[in-house]
Chain A
């Protein structure tokens, strides 16, 4: 390899590095203070509509890591046997199959993804819990005991979705 060309190339890459040092916008968000607006179809925490569920167990059968267990609850008019899905999020891979295969549109996924807990048992969500999550996402943090660290240090901001800036080089698209 020509050493002069190699040297010039190295200097060029240094110049690019210097440019990035000051001019290019940061890609990292200061989570949890800054949040992304997530696109529709994001696969996060599940949400169950208990009055739609018929207890057909297709979700449990379709779940690849067997994260779903059917549990007994009070029967409803649609669900005579009273079987409802319980999801163990220790195993869930967020593949979305359960949502996809549910014939009665009873399972959905929300855009909640910060499911850290101190205790692994707190990741096993019974059907009543899965039902409440949509109206009141705060119960997730109360239940897991993680709401203590969620005191904001910066002004809360919402960043635009990074999905619009996809690319091989992960650079913002400049027009």
Chain B
């Protein structure tokens, strides 16, 4: 009995120490982790809707409370939470219910490896880049599975489209990432950022950055490449059968978490993360990532959707050569010692 009480006291003491000294629990739960991400998600949903409205001469969310209706995402969430959950008869029940949760986990997992500054990183890992990219790559598989588990025509078409699209952008994405890893001679995000000390990789490897950026937008499934969920063609595509809170979870994981994670990945890999590093390093990372997110959300307001054939052609004809040329240039530059340090 005493032992249990002692244990609880020790745990509470540890938690207090941890939260006040920015330990791992603080990082996972508060700042780069859950709480921060969800607050950011609310702001992003509101910003996206408001911005699209402004560009299209509308007003956007207004009535839901707060200045300019900023509480709209919370209202939406409450609405989703109270809606009826409908599971289609023909669906693969277990997969159908499990997949939204799996998708949220997979979409949020890379946050653990993303550094906000040298110390503000949930799980410091010498192979962070590989892990993050692996989780990012896993997502289209979930889309395919969702389409298959829903057992509906539109959902299945959406899933197949996601798989087809992935065939296009996956290689350029990995080749571009390889350029970064080669130039910094590490898969560790902290090392990657620190090897961008004089010049960002976006400036020394512009071709790779461009290829990665386009592949990244396709991976997020955002306009102009939101081919798997093309609303006007196949309803909501791969998650058309979902209702209520499961739909809400998919919106968060597929629309927001991927946007956030990949923008942060781009910031860390190409835009120098927290460099130049004076002041509050976390703020630098955040501002850069936010600008990238803003840009990608802005695409939605101005661009139409590409056809899937156009996209896959572009990926194989233009992005893949671009990323390979970038890799060769980086390879040559490492031999000349351009990226500093010991030659390989």
**B302 and A14 form a contact (CB under 8 A):** yes
Q: How many A-B residue pairs have CB under 8 A?
A: 33
Q: What is the bound-complex CA distance between A3 and B57, given in angstroms?
A: 30
Instruction: From A26-34, A35-43, A46-54, A69-77, give the one contacting chain B.
Output: A26-34
**B303 and A21 form a contact (CB under 8 A):** no
Q: What is the bound-complex CA distance between A3 and B62, given in angstroms?
A: 40
Q: Does A173 contact B (CB under 8 A)?
A: no
Q: What is the bound-complex CA distance between A95 and B182, given in angstroms?
A: 70
State how many angstroms separate the Cβ of B66 from the closest Cβ of chain A: 14
**A26 and B58 form a contact (CB under 8 A):** yes
Contact of A3 among B51, B55, B318 (CB under 8 A): B318
Residues of B within 8 A of A13 (CB): 302-303
State how many angstroms separate the Cβ of A155 from the closest Cβ of chain B: 15
Q: Does A20 contact B (CB under 8 A)?
A: yes
Residues of B within 8 A of A90 (CB): none
Interfacial residues of chain B within 34-87, with CB under 8 A of chain A in the complex: 51, 54-59, 62
Q: Does A147 contact B (CB under 8 A)?
A: no
Q: Does A152 contact B (CB under 8 A)?
A: no
**Given known A-B contacts A13-B302, A16-B302, A25 and B55 have beta carbons under 8 A apart:** no
**A27 and B54 form a contact (CB under 8 A):** no
Q: What is the bound-complex CA distance between A20 and B51, given in angstroms?
A: 10
Binding site for A on B (CB under 8 A): 51, 54-59, 62, 298, 301-303, 318
Binding site for B on A (CB under 8 A): 3, 10, 13-14, 16-18, 20-22, 24-28, 30, 170
What are 11 A-B residue pairs whose CB atoms fall within 8 Å in the complex?
A: A13-B302, A17-B301, A20-B55, A22-B54, A24-B57, A26-B59, A28-B57, A28-B58, A28-B59, A30-B62, A170-B57
